[in-house]
Every structure is written in C-alpha cells, then in structure tokens.
Amino acid sequence: MKLILALLFFILPINSGLAQERSLEDVIEEVNTSVLSVTVDTEAGEQALGAGFIIGADGYIVTNAHVVDDAKSIRAETIYGDEYQVKLVGVDKKTDIALLKAEHPLGLEPVHFADSDNVRLGQAVFAIGNPYGLGNSVSGGIISAKERNIEKGAYDNFLQTDAAINQGNSGGPLFNMNGEVVGVNTAIFSEQGENMGLGFATPSNMVQWVVEQLKANGTVERGWIGISVRPVQTKGEDKALQLAITEIAENSPAAEINLKVGDIIERLSNISLQNPRIFSAEIAATKPQTKLDAVVRRDDKLLKFQIEVAPMPQEDKTDKNREIAPWQKFEDYGPDKDKPVNSTEFEQLGISAYYDDIAQDFVITSLKADADMAQKGVIAGNRIIAADNKKIYGVEDFQTKLKQAAEKGQLELKIKSEQNIDTVTVKLENIK
C-alpha cells in the first residue's frame, strides 16, 4: 500500500482548565467555542480551509503555517457564525505553526495547554476541526505513539492519534479528556487524503515555545552550535548509546572551541543524547548565548569544553563563512577509525553505507567519485530513507530492492541531508 503525507487543509475553487470530574459532553461543549474555522483567500485565487483556536483573550489564534501559506486575506469564524478578519502575526515553517490575531477581542474563552511531555500511550484524546469545510466537528481516539518522525521536517516530534482527522482539520486542537490542548493537528498518512487512523499533532510544549517567540518577534530564533551527529554504542558492559560528531560547520561555536569530527559526546549539559533528532531539537530550543558544559571522548581521553550557543544562521541569509562544511568520512576520525562502522558496499550504487537500527535508514559512509549519486550531489553522511517510495528494513531488504530495480536500470531514492529531504533517481551499475 502506498501512503502519502497529506497536509490537512482543504482547497476549494474561489466560487464554490477544566475539572476532571465533569462529563465529556460538558468539556466538549465548553472548549468547542474556542475552536474556529479558518478561511484563507490565496494570491493564486484559491480558498484554503482549516481550523484554529483561541489562546488569549486579546484575540491571538493558533493554526498551521501551511493553512495560511500564500494568504491574501484570512477570516476566522466562530461556532455562532460570527466571522472576523484576522492578520498574520508570524509563521514558523519548520514546525508548521502560525500565529494570527483578530483585529478586536472575540470575547471567547481561550484554551488551556497541557504539558505534552506527560502524555502517555493509550491516553484518550479528542480532536476538533473543520473537516472539508463542514464546521466544528469532534472525533475521539487515543494517543497511538509519541516522538513520531514522519520526515516532514528537521524537528519532527509528533504525537500520533487514531482520532479521525481529515482535510480541513489542519491547525485544530487535540485535547485531553480535561479539555486541555496536548497538540495541534497537522498531518495525516493517507492514500487519497482521507482518514486512515494515522493523524499527527505537534506537541503543545513545542507549540507554546514557538508561539511565545512569534508573539514577541514575529519569527523564531533557534540555537545552533554547528555540529551533526550520529549514534554510537559505547564499549563495555552497559553499552550505552552516545553521539559521535560527524560534521562541524566552519566558524561555528563547535569549531571555535576546537571540537573535532569523531569526538564522542558523553554529556552536553541537560541536552538529551537519546538520538540525533531529539538532540538537534533540544539544541534548537536553547536560547542563544546559553553556555553548555560538554564532555567528549577523544582517543580514549575525556575532555571538557564549554560551548556558547549561537543564533541559527538564516537559510536564505547565511554568511558564506558560516555555511555547513561538507560531510567528512567518519571512518577517518576518532578512536574507532581503525574499526569504523560496519558498512556494507553496494556496488550497484557505488557507495558504502551502514544501517542505523534506531532511525531505520542507511547512512552513506563513502561514495565513488564517479558514482551517479555523487554526480547528483549526494555526499557521505547523507541518509537513504526510502527506495522506490518504500521504507528500507536492513541490508538484505535493500539488496532485494536493488535486484528488483536492476531490470529497469535505475532506482528512486529518498535522500536526507542536514537541511533537506530530496528524491534522486540514480542509475544502477551492471554488476556481474
């Protein structure tokens, strides 16, 4: 079955703090007034329909960034049928969150946020949104998973729910049974855009952090230290997971304190070393000028550093001296350079790569200079996350997919770099 990522807004032609002991019906009746239908007239002459919710008596409204993309004008409608013009305060495309503000206070009760870190698997939740432009609709379910990475962006950390979510639900809240917002409904996995029981919500803690910055500045400033990492397993009885530095940006905070590719991060203040994605997200959420205490292992020696977090360079305004340096082969560095990652050579592609069991993808460790992938801009350190639109489940599965693609002589690979996810069609070499 081929699944596609569907954003939850609906395009039409332009002419077309509650007490836990309360009943669910009472809770829904009260919070339903805080949820709005959002209508966007775009510059392209289309109409986008989504949802949003009130977070303050002063008229601030949260929705998804993709709902208001290319907006010419934005209107918000209450369940009572009152419609208001709203202005765009700011967007953060990296988390798909947008902040709107009504020209006048709406006189409606704002929502209350829950601590999304305390959400548990199996916890009952309900969603309110504007599916297919029908107006406020309620659906119920549970939290199916946490910390989901659906390859939508660098900071994927979604709550997954089986509550029915459809196109038009974008920007609507996901509530716990106390009527507190645990997330913002953002995306679904679907064949044709219909609900299949796989909905994804941005956690409330991330939403609040983004909204606070959008309120203050209209933009989001993220922390940056200028490194990329991959997981390694330490030797010894505990075999704990740690992170190895695979890339250091020139003139970055990490470069300035002389961190090296191959260093094993043992500790970085209170930043999680659980996996590279969470590590990067927590660095990004750290306020610039914060000083972090680092302990790294280099050549079996423990070294201590203090690193000052800098503002993340803007993608479209990055100074040339601060651009990310090319990925270097991890095998050439660090204490394990003589026994590097257990890479597999895939001759058909002209690459070597190892399978990351945690992320369930392949990390490219080296490429032939004349390989088709290298000619198309793929470099060591990039990740192969899908082949012919299918997830890869280990070395044998990848080799099977290569054999299946041999007859047509090419393979479509989804490649993840530090900044983007791109689809690359590569020629397969004839290997006898």
Tell me: the pLDDT tens digits for 212-239? 999 998 999 999 999 988 887 665 555 5
Indicate whether 383 pLDDT > 80: yes
CB burial of residue 279 (10 Å; 0-12, 13-18, 19+): buried
Q: Does residue 252 have an active-site annotation?
A: no
Q: Catalytic one among 92, 96, 156, 372?
A: 96
Task: Encode 388-424: b = buried (16+ Cβ within 10 Å), e = exposed.
Answer: eeeebeebeebeebbeebeeeeebebbbbbeeeeeeb
Q: Which of 84-88, 193-197, 306-310 has the lowest mean pLDDT?
A: 193-197
Work out the percent of the chain whose per-residue pLDDT is above 70: 84
pTM (2 d.p.): 0.67
Q: Does residue 170 have an active-site annotation?
A: yes
Indicate whether 425 pLDDT > 50: yes
CB burial of residue 135 (10 Å; 0-12, 13-18, 19+): middle
Q: What is the structure's pLDDT at 316?
A: 40
Q: Which of 48-52, 64-68, 286-290, 416-420 has the lowest mean pLDDT?
A: 416-420
Indicate whether 103 pLDDT > 50: yes
Q: Does residue 96 have an active-site annotation?
A: yes
Element (H, E) at 311: strand 310-311
- Residues 74 and 38 sit within 8 Å (Cβ to Cβ): yes
Q: Catalytic one among 66, 116, 228, 263?
A: 66
Q: What is the structure's pLDDT at 97?
A: 96
Q: Catalytic one among 170, 252, 280, 352?
A: 170
* Domains, in order of start, for the chain: 4-214 (2.40.10.120), 223-332 (2.30.42.10), 344-427 (2.30.42.10)
Work out the percent of the chain whose per-residue pLDDT is above 90: 46
Give the residue with greater pLDDT, 91 vs 377.
91
